Each structure stands twice: as structure tokens, then as C-alpha cells.
């Protein structure tokens, strides 16, 4: 009998994490006085700071337990791209241009070859995002950390009147999904558990790629967003990361009906099959083939589709604040 899996059973409780983040945010009551105050509230994909006619933006994120797979396979060449992508994609959601980045590496001990490979990926991520890596921190934390953790913080800038917050999203708007490259950098606690208990990382998929190779494919960097927003009216965007489709609820008080989802990548289909995962669990844990989305008025649809590789209309905005997949609520 096939074993049933869940993200919670694997060790990550999404609901508990959400409660924990809310508890933390409730303590952040202090607001800077004088110039350069915060624009908006904590909780969007990136935070903004008033800077005259412009806003500066900051966000931070990491690679997560994808690093464990890199350690197991002794291949860290692409995790730097993941680190960069998880940050810059959160800025692209608001049409903010990333311009600078600092990385943070926590390790139980320095390995020169490992550092070289991580640097290769970070540099490629910087090239794809057109930003400068201006510094960072490497901390040896023997006795505190087992393995290696990679995270980063990104700085961005945009004219105030060009920032996309989602406030213009309205019922009837069209959702255009954009393809992911695979698992990206979320849900790996569950992905690892399924892989390790179903043949391991050397298992060969129908395409000929191993499970380990597929799991290390780097997160797509959606840098085309800036060009799209300069040529089409965009009401909102979504980076489909941890929480899957539930990320849409961060954008607007309206709801989102996904009616014709994108094709599921091979590795995610394999995880779904071997893990005997329920549809709700899949779409609230993984991107399931849609790593990014545009929410646009009907008149912008053809422009966006013509400019973005791997994009298609997947749904529409609805009145009620919820996310549905083919008519069934995701929660």
C-alpha cells in the first residue's frame, strides 16, 4: 500500500508558521520618525521605504532545506541562483527593480570548494537579475548548525507611481500564470522525505534525469516583469512560493479562481504520485508548475502572453476572498 504523506507530517506545519509570523509581526509596533518612513504595512512580498519621488525596497529569503540535497549530492553550483531568485522575485511582484544584494552563509565549517560553487551560483543569479552583490557575511557556527544555510537580503528601487501593490485588482481581472522550472525553493522538507523513502535521489525519471538532478534545478528568475509592466497595465502579481496558491490571498481582499492550471512539471508529478498527496496538499505546498502570475485587465492579456515565455491564462479574480482550484477551495 502506498504511504500517504503531508507537509505537516514531514515536519512543516504551514498553519503554525502563519500563526508564528503573525505573532512576530504584532510585536513590530515601532515606526521611524522623520524622513524615509515605511510605506504600507509589513506582510507584502517586499517592504518599502519612502525616498522622495521613489521607494526603496528590502526583502530577505533563503534557500531552505534544498541545501540538504545540495549537501547530499555535493553540488552547490545552482543554490546561489535559488537564493537570488527567492529575493528578487519578491521584488518583481511589486514592479520594483532589484539593484543590490548581500548574502549570509552559516556553516559548521568552511570548505573552499563549497564556497567556490556557491559563489558561481550567486554570480549567475546577479547576472540574471542585473544587480550588484555588495557584501555579505560568512559565519562558522560549529555546534550550532549541521551543514550549511544560505540566505540573502535584497535592495530595490522604483518610482512611487510605478509600484504595483495589488490595490487595483478587481473582480473580472484575468490571471496569467507563468511556468516554473520545477520545485523552485519551497516544500523541500516534504519533497526530500518522499524522495528518500521512494528510491532516493539516484532514481531515474522518465525523462532520463535523476530525482536529485530535478530537485536541484534552480528557481526561475522572472526579470521580464519590469519590461512587461512598462508596456502593459498590470493590477497585481504573485510569486508562488511557500504556501502555494494561498500566496494569492496576500495581494487583495478579493479572491482568485484558478480554472485551467499550468502543466505540472515531471518532478512535481513524481512527488505527487509517490507521496500519494491530496490535491489540496499539493497546491498549498508547491508551485505545481506556476511560479509567478500576473493579474491584469482583459485588454492587457495578449500583450503579457506575447512577452512572457511559458505563460497562459489560468483563471480570474472573484468577489469572495478565497482561492479555488477548478471550483474547489484551497485551504
pLDDT tens for each residue of 167-224 = 999 999 999 999 999 999 999 999 999 999 999 999 999 999 999 999 999 999 999 9
CATH, range 174-329: 3.90.650.10
CATH 3.30.1330.10 domain locations along the chain: 31-161
Mean pLDDT of 56-65: 96
The CATH number of domain 31-161, selected from 3.30.1330.10, 3.40.50.300, 3.40.50.150, 3.40.920.10: 3.30.1330.10
Digit-coded pLDDT (tens) for 65-123: 999 999 999 999 999 999 999 999 999 999 999 999 999 999 999 999 999 999 999 99
pLDDT(41) > 90: no
Degrees to nearest 5, angle at CA 203 with 202 and 208: 100
Predicted TM-score (pTM) of the model is 0.93
Which ranges in 143-247 belong to alpha helices (H)?
A: 188-196, 211-215, 225-231
CATH 3.90.650.10 domain locations along the chain: 174-329
When pLDDT is cut at 50, 70 and 90, the band that residue 25 belongs to is: confident
**What is the arrangement of strands in the sheet containing 174-179, beginning at the earlier edge strand?**
236-239, 290-296, 174-179, 311-318, 255-258, 323-325, 328-329
When pLDDT is cut at 50, 70 and 90, the band that residue 13 belongs to is: confident
pLDDT(9) > 60: yes
What is the rounded CA–CA span in Å between residue 62 and residue 83? 5
Residue 136 grid coordinates: 555579505
What is the rounded CA–CA span in Å between residue 5 and residue 8? 9
Q: Report the share of the chain in percent with pLDDT over 70.
A: 98
Amino acid at each position: 500500500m502506498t504511504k500517504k504523506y503531508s507537509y505537516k507530517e514531514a515536519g512543516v506545519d504551514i498553519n503554525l508558521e502563519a500563526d508564528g509570523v503573525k505573532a512576530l509581526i504584532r510585536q513590530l509596533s515601532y515606526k521611524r520618525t522623520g524622513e524615509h518612513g515605511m510605506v504600507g504595512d509589513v506582510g507584502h512580498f517586499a517592504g518599502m521605504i519612502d525616498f522622495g519621488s521613489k521607494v526603496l525596497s528590502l526583502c530577505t529569503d533563503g534557500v531552505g532545506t534544498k541545501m540538504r540535497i545540495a549537501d547530499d549530492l555535493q553540488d552547490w553550483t545552482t543554490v546561489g541562483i535559488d537564493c537570488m531568485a527567492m529575493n528578487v522575485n519578491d521584488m518583481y511582484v511589486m514592479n520594483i527593480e532589484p539593484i543590490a544584494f548581500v548574502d549570509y552563509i552559516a556553516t559548521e565549517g568552511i570548505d573552499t570548494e563549497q564556497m567556490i560553487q556557491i559563489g558561481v551560483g550567486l554570480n549567475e543569479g546577479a547576472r540574471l537579475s542585473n544587480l550588484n552583490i555588495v557584501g555579505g557575511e560568512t559565519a562558522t557556527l560549529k555546534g550550532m548548525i549541521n551543514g550549511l544555510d544560505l540566505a540573502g537580503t535584497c535592495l530595490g528601487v522604483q518610482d512611487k507611481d510605478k509600484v504595483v501593490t495589488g490595490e487595483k485588482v478587481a473582480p473580472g481581472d484575468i490571471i496569467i500564470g507563468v511556468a516554473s522550472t520545477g520545485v523552485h525553493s519551497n516544500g523541500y522538507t516534504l519533497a526530500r522525505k518522499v524522495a528518500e523513502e521512494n528510491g532516493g535521489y539516484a532514481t531515474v525519471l522518465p525523462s532520463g534525469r535523476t530525482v536529485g538532478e530535478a530537485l536541484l534545478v534552480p528557481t526561475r528568475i522572472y526579470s521580464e516583469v519590469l519590461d512587461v509592466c512598462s508596456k502593459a497595465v498590470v493590477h497585481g502579481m504573485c510569486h508562488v512560493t511557500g504556501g502555494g496558491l494561498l500566496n494569492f490571498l496576500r495581494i487583495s481582499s478579493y479572491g482568485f479562481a484558478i480554472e485551467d492550471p499550468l502543466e505540472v512539471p515531471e518532478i512535481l508529478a513524481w512527488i505527487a504520485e509517490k507521496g500519494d498527496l491530496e490535491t489540496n496538499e499539493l497546491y498549498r505546498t508547491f508551485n505545481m508548475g506556476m511560479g509567478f502570475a500576473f493579474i491584469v485587465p482583459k485588454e492587457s492579456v495578449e500583450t503579457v502572453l506575447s512577452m512572457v515565455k511559458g505563460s497562459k491564462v489560468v483563471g480570474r479574480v472573484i468577489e469572495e476572498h478565497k482561492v479555488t482550484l477548478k471550483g474547489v477551495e484551497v485551504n
